[in-house]
């Protein structure tokens, strides 16, 4: 059965998640936020007192995670963890556990299970290269580091969380470097991905461009 897949990969805070939801809403498709799976793994491993540099130990924890995805919420056991997952500290834990091939393998089947009718929009770092290499449309989303730091800053301020823009930028550049330089599934545009730099675009413009590409592919 042919279930269509659109992949959106790109660096930290490039707007992948927002774009993925906009496109999925317009098409009535499912969304896979693969970063959330690495985040929940990093968070659970930290809480369990594991050494995040021990890939085997972190991977061994994955099958025991009691994860549930309910209407945009993510539950870990009896706790709704969406807010905890979005914290910068959790993003850092995610990128630490994401370097290990056994952790990436342990999360593969779960990610594939999001491919359900009528279709899937998957966002992350390696959706078009590793998880869904046969995707019907692959987008690689970028934005300048200053644009990304600025957006992340506004997002935090709007939630009443104080943040320093310079340290945000340093954090996201450090995370990008780790994600790009790791040997296992680094952040890369697939050879057949379409590049979209949204530094100077509104979310509506980016969404409409992707929907136009999608119509051209179908």
How many chain residues touch ligand C5P (CB under 6 A)?
14
Q: Does 41 bind ligand C5P (CB under 6 A)?
A: no
Nearest CB to ligand C5P, comparing residues 4 and 34? 34
Q: Does 55 bind ligand C5P (CB under 6 A)?
A: no
Q: Among the candidate windows 31-39, 66-74, 136-144, 147-155, which touches ligand C5P by CB under 6 A?
A: 31-39
Return the SS3 of 211: helix
Q: Does 175 bind ligand C5P (CB under 6 A)?
A: yes
Q: Which strands sit side by side in the sheet containing 67-70, from one edge to the other?
A: 67-70, 73-76, 79-80
The count of residues in the chain is 218
Looking at 4, 5, 23, 38, which residue binds ligand C5P (CB under 6 A)? Answer: 38
- Residue 206 CB, nearest distance to ligand C5P (Å)? 16
Looking at 4, 15, 35, 55, which residue binds ligand C5P (CB under 6 A)? Answer: 35
- Residue 90 CB, nearest distance to ligand C5P (Å)? 8
What are the angstrom distances between the C-alpha of 163 and each of 37, 88, 149, 156, 176? Answer: 25, 10, 10, 7, 19
Cβ(17)–Cβ(65) under 8 Å?
Answer: no
Cβ(141)–Cβ(189) under 8 Å?
Answer: no
Q: Among all residues, whose Cβ is closest to ligand C5P?
A: 35
Rounded Cα–Cα distance for residues 105 and 72 (Å):
24
Query: Which residues in 110-169 contact ligand C5P (CB under 6 A)?
Result: 124-126
Looking at 12, 129, 142, 206, which residue binds ligand C5P (CB under 6 A)? Answer: 12
- Residue 135 CB, nearest distance to ligand C5P (Å)? 13
Of the candidates 103, 105, 110, the residue with the CA atom closest to the CA atom of residue 69: 110
- φ/ψ of residue 37, rounded to 5: -70, -40
Rounded Cα–Cα distance for residues 42 and 138 (Å):
27
Q: Which residues would be at the binding site for ligand C5P (CB under 6 A)?
A: 12, 34-35, 38-39, 91, 94-95, 98, 124-126, 175, 179
């Amino acid at each position: 059965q042919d279930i269509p897949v659109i992949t959106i990969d790109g660096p930290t805070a490039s707007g992948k998640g927002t774009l993925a939801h906009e496109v999925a809403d317009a098409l009535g498709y499912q969304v896979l936020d693969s970063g959330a799976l690495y985040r929940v793994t990093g968070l659970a491993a930290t809480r369990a007192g594991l050494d995040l540099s021990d890939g085997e130990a972190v991977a061994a924890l994955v099958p025991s995670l009691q994860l549930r995805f309910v209407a945009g919420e993510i539950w870990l056991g009896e706790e709704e963890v969406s807010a905890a997952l979005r914290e910068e500290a959790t993003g850092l834990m995610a990128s630490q556990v994401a370097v290990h091939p056994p952790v990436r393998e342990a999360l593969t089947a779960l990610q594939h299970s999001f491919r359900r009718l009528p279709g899937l929009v998957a966002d992350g770092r390696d959706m078009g290269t590793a998880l869904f290499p046969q995707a019907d449309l692959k987008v690689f989303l970028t934005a300048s580091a200053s644009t990304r730091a600025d957006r992340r800053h506004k997002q935090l301020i709007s939630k009443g969380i104080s943040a320093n823009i310079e340290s945000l930028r340093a954090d996201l550049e450090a995370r990008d470097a780790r994600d790009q330089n790791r040997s296992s599934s680094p952040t890369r545009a697939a050879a057949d991905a379409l590049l979209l730099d949204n530094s100077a675009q509104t979310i509506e413009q980016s969404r409409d461009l992707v929907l136009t590409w999608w119509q051209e592919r179908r």
